[in-house]
Structure 1
Amino acid sequence: MEQNQEVLATLESWNAGKPYTSVLNLELPAAIGCIRYYAGWADKIHGQTIPTHSKKFAYTVKQPLGVCGQIIPWNYPVLMAAWKLGPALATGNTIVLKPAEQTPLSMLYVADLVVRAGFPPGVINIVNGYGRAAGHALVLHPNVAKIAFTGSTITGRLIQQAAGATLKKVTLETGGKSPLLVFNDADIEQAAKWAHCGIMSNQGQICTANSRLLVQSGVYKQFIKRFVELVEAHKLGNPFDEDTFQGPQITKAHLEKILSYTKGAVEEGATLETGGGTRGERGFFMQPTVFSNVSSSMKIYREEIFGPVVAISSFDEEEEAINMANDSEFGLAASIFTRDMQRSHRVSTRLDAGMVWVNSSTDSDFRVPFGGMKQSGVGRELGEAGLEGYMQVKSVHVNVGLEL
């Protein structure tokens, strides 16, 4: 992968409309780092010896599950594959990986790299196909011991139901509607910049995207002004231009779904600060869109849009902010911006989120567990925790003197 980064970045940009420079400078280094991190774990996985009593010896063995099915999404094909391949291989499993039907290209090249790297035939198998056919067959197959899935909550529910027929292990990383809280004492410039990257990067097609901005009333207008300036300044256009920040949405159908949300937000009474439509007649280019004065009953506040659309609401007190943040069926991530470290720890413990960032947003790291609460998924990926889902623990009891 390191030797072929430019080719991979080009394919990934063609694949998903991503800005080439973002793939080359951010996504691929993260994917390569993840693979290298888990390669380092391969000879460090072991069980325990457990003291019981003098005439018995007990220990545990951690063993691979066997064949693991992995279903990856279209928003980060290579990176999400690395997140899943790394721990599965480090723990001794074999893999059948299905890319999203929208983005098959880059993973076919990864398959070639797998062969060149010297993996034995059958260890890593990449199978393209539609979710309803290939994905469904993978989930139902009796010889597949585990399914790891990243994608929508709706599909995640269906996978969990189908996996129940054979009691497969599942790891599900699904949807999100992540809040970003800005308190009066926050560094507004930094809060606005992180919020901008956290929702507008990758065309807003990010599971952890901070799509709800909850801003304390004392800095509400100041924050919106600076945030809108940043949004209007970034370049929307050709993914292969060096200064492009935002490329096209993944498909025409997805673009139309996003537009239905922006239209509905106006009808429900939200204030459109900028954007709301498309750019040009060619391509699936969605204008970065900002709504303010959003109430908790509006669809753009409650439902995952998965696009460059953000809902901004105000709050007065800390308790109100926590309640607003937790008022969601999702619980993937959250961000807090404040200079008060006591507040940051206090609030982070009360947020219904599997991950909380303080004074940053969405900058995950392959060494740190990744996963959600509530309708945002089951299990954890990344870090040492990511290994556990690919192993089973066997307990061995040895009699060294007990007699009947």
Structure 2
Amino acid sequence: MNQLFINNEFIASESTETMDVVNPATGQVFDTITFANENDVNIAVAKSQEAQLEWEKVPQPTRAEHVKMLIPLLENNKNELAELYVKEQGKLLSSALGEIHKSIKFIDYMSSLSMQNKGEVLQSNRDNELIHLTKKPIGVTAGIVPWNAPIMVLMRKVIPAIITGCSVIIKPSEETSLITLKLAELFIQSAIPAGLIQIIPGTGETVGTQLAKHPDIQLISLTGSMRAGKSVYEASASNVKKVNLELGGNAPAIVTADADLDKAVDYIVTARINNAGQVCTCPERIFVHEQVHDEFLSKLKAKMEQLTVGDPFDEQTDLGAIINQKQLDHIHNTVQQSIQEGAQLVLGGEILNRDGYYYAPTILDKVQPEHAAFTNEIFGPVLPIMTYDDFHEVINLANDTNAGLSSYIFSENLQEVMRASELLKFGEVYANCEAEEAVNGFHAGWRESGLGGADGVHGFEEYYNTTVSYIRYD
């Protein structure tokens, strides 16, 4: 699997550039991957274009039937997939299996939309004329997939593309190329024709930039950091292709005086420790009303102290590994800088002394808006806390960020929940629950958290162009 996947075959790259694959839970190298170069990208695009021109002639419900054949393949291979996933990424085994199950639900749901390409008949202001608006496949697409959810996010980019009549070229994260290429084995076994799905590992600077600039790619979809998204956005401007971006978040979680504190603690911790905090929808900034701060902090500390950090394959483990040394250092440096700026360390705040990349569950109190833990997305098992005393003040503080992906409100007061839902300027508001991202919802961000979105009918329609036909019949 250390090759490229082009036209339903594993082929050698023309490049000699490789990267070691390290198990984050042990710190040990267990494989290598080979990167693609620009000519490999050109070959993949040419094969994708050829296959897509034939595929768009197939009725959309028939395309969906081909895609649904992936469901039993995922179900029958879920354990093997999950084990490789954990070994390469450090996520808990239960979480890896959960992501596969959600991918199956996503495929089933997206397939159900295949009969809903409706179009419109519009009124004309001229006699004897009809105006028809129809939706057509956008063409060759490209998807850049992150390391923190490589299976589900890959499906978000592959499944709607194939059902709507497009082809797709996937650039996986360098950190999780093996699990992505493992999925290619299932694509070979499925009924999806050759050439519609290509997987080409490589760096963002080479493969990502080439995909963004390529004139024959009509849409590029990236899930990743704000830096990577801006780079792709800029590169794509050379030929004005459609861009779909789901970028970083800096999610606020507001705990009001009317919150059920036990519920708030449970949901915040559950969301924060998901994938060891390496999820863009995790609560990153916790705003607690001053009347309940002490009780909330006591309950939060007790909950975090009970967490077990360790082997992702162990059913008793709550937190697995951080993806790599660079991310581990980023987490620790952000925590230490915040302490130097005046934040109070309540719990954790250290890299654990063991093989692999692990960070202690951490709580910072008395954090201020200018502290590093509030201004930066930590992407780790760290909960920074700030108190407030006025509802409108906390809404303003929550909205004071360049990000706009997810947000949380915890209150048993329905008026507060509804007001927060109205006033929070984020693509998602989770009230008294953890992040779900339902397959029939719409996962999209405001401001620098993205353009367009994924999931549901609205995500499906990202892969269409429209044609308006003016038909005279006199």
* TM norm structure 1: 0.97
Identity of aligned residues (%): 32
Aligned residue for 2:143?
70
- Tell whether the 8 Å contact from 1:149 to 1:156 is kept in structure 2 after alignment: yes
| Equivalent residue in structure 1 for 2:238, among 141, 161, 165 | 165
Match of 1:395 in 2: 468
Whole-angstrom distance in 2 between the partners of 1:217 and 1:83:
41
Q: Which has the higher contact order (CA 8 A, sep 6+)?
A: 1
How far apart in 2 are the matches of 1:174 and 1:349? 22
Counterpart selection for 2:311 from 235, 238, 255: 238
CA distance in structure 2 between the aligned counterparts of 1:13 and 1:251, rounded to whole angstroms: 13
Indicate yes or no: 2:105 matched with 1:33.
Answer: yes
How many equivalent pairs are there? 400
The secondary structure found in structure 2 opposite 1:215 is strand
Q: Which residue of 2 aligns with 1:278?
A: 351
Q: State how far apart, in whole Å, the 2-side matches of 1:204 and 1:124 are.
A: 31
The match for 1:46 is 118
Q: Which runs of 5+ in 1 are unaligned?
A: none
Note the C-alpha offset of 1:331. 0.8
Deviations 1:145-203 (A, max 9, x none): 11000000011111101111110101100011100111111111010011001111101
Q: Deviations over 1:194-234 (max 9, x none)?
A: 10011111011011110101111111111111112111111
Q: Does 1:106 align with 2:179?
A: yes
Q: In the aligned structure 2, how far is the partner of 1:288 from the partner of 1:165?
A: 44
Report the more deviating stretch, 357-366 or 377-386: 357-366
The residue type paired with residue 298 of structure 2 is K
Matching of residue 86 in structure 1 with residue 130 in structure 2:
no
SS at match of 2:331: helix
- 2:323 aligned residue: 250
Q: Which runs of 4+ in 1 moved over 3 A?
A: none
Taking structure 2 as the reference length, what is the TM-score of the superposition? Answer: 0.83
Distance 1:232 1:355 in 2: 29
Question: Which aligned pairs between 1:117-128 and structure 2 lie closer than 5 A?
Answer: 117-128=190-201
Find out whether 1:57 has 2:135 as its counterpart: no
Which ranges of structure 2 fall in alignment gaps of 5 or more residues? 1-73
Moved more, 371-380 or 40-49: 40-49
How much does 1:38 deviate? 0.9
Match of 1:17 in 2: 90
- Give RMSD over aligned pairs: 1.0
Given residue 170 of structure 2, which amino acid in structure 1 is its aligned partner?
L
- Match for residue 383 of structure 1 among 456, 461, 473: 456
Distance 1:191 1:314 in 2: 15
SS of 1:33's equivalent in the other structure is helix
Partner of 1:199: 272
Q: Could you list the per-position Cα deviations for residues 80-136 of structure 1 after superposition, in whole angstroms to 9, with x for gaps in the alignment? A: 111111211121100001110011111111100011012111011111111111111
Which of 385, 406, 424 is residue 351 of structure 1 equivalent to? 424
Offset from partner CA, 1:327-373 (integer Å, 9 cap, x none): 11111110111111122111111111011011112122111000110
334-343 vs 187-196, greater mean Cα deviation: 334-343
- 1:269 equivalent to 2:338? Answer no
SS at 2:386 equivalent: strand
How many angstroms apart in 1 are the aligned matches of 2:301 and 2:144? 36
State the secondary structure of the residue aligned to 1:42: helix
Contact 1:259 1:277 survives alignment (8 Å): yes
Cα shift readout 1:254-281 (whole Å, capped 9, x = no counterpart): 1111111111011011011101011123
- Give CA deviations for 1:33-90 in whole Å, capped at 9, x if unaligned: 1111111212321211112254210111100111100000000100111111121112
Aligned to 1:330: 403
SS in structure 2 of the partner of residue 330 of structure 1: coil
Any conservation in 2 of the 1:32–1:82 contact (CA below 8 Å)?
Answer: no
